[in-house]
Amino acid sequence: MAITTQISSSEVGKSDLKKLTDTLRINELCHDDIELSTDHYYKVEAGGEIVGYFGIEKYESYGLLRSVVILEKFRGNGLGEELMIIVKQKANGLRLQSLFLLTTAASGFFSRFGFQIMAREKAPISILESHEFQNFCPSTAICMVKHFNQDE
């Protein structure tokens, strides 16, 4: 299914929570610890349909990118690239210095957008103490970081 309209994003609200958690569960992504009152989760839409989701947990001037997913029927149309442009905009809007992530299978995808592999133990303490780092991602997950210049 080709997407020809521009994509947009909006924060996930309580009415969207079940769709978000179901999508994450189906795609084998962590979904048990989503806290809408403190975390920033976004739905990404094109042509009036939800095409994906992502989340950013904020820890001081750092962010933790969570649960990046494009719904299966929309994959292969360049939406991942457009979603990552939105991720960068949201990170800049949150005035993040750096955005971290853990991945078991998508390091190649994220490296295309400026994320670099780093030693997990070198992440800031606030990121290391997150539920994602402590409880949900295996120790074999690759840690990646992207640094931001607020003038970008």
Report which of residues 49 and 150 the model is more confident about. 49
Residue whose tokens read 């989503």 = 34
Measured CA to CA, the distance from residue 111 to residue 142 in angstroms comes to: 12
For residues 44-56, average pLDDT: 91
* Residues sharing a CB contact under 8 Å with residue 130, sequence separation 6 or more, in sequence order: 57, 59, 64
pLDDT (tens digit per residue) in 104-134: 889 999 999 999 999 999 999 999 999 888 8
pLDDT (tens digit per residue) in 12-40: 888 888 888 888 778 777 666 676 556 78
pLDDT (tens digit per residue) in 70-90: 999 998 888 989 999 999 999
106 in helix, strand or coil? coil
First to last CA, the chain: 33
Q: Which helix (H) or strand (E) holds 10?
A: strand 7-11
Q: Has residue 143 got a pLDDT over 90? A: yes
Measured CA to CA, the distance from residue 144 to residue 110 in angstroms comes to: 8
Token duo for residue 84: 């990552």
Measured CA to CA, the distance from residue 51 to residue 46 in angstroms comes to: 7
Strands in 15-107 per DSSP E: 40-46, 49-59, 62-70, 98-103
Domains of the chain: 7-147 (3.40.630.30)
What pLDDT is recorded for position 1? 46
Mean pLDDT of the residues in the chain: 87
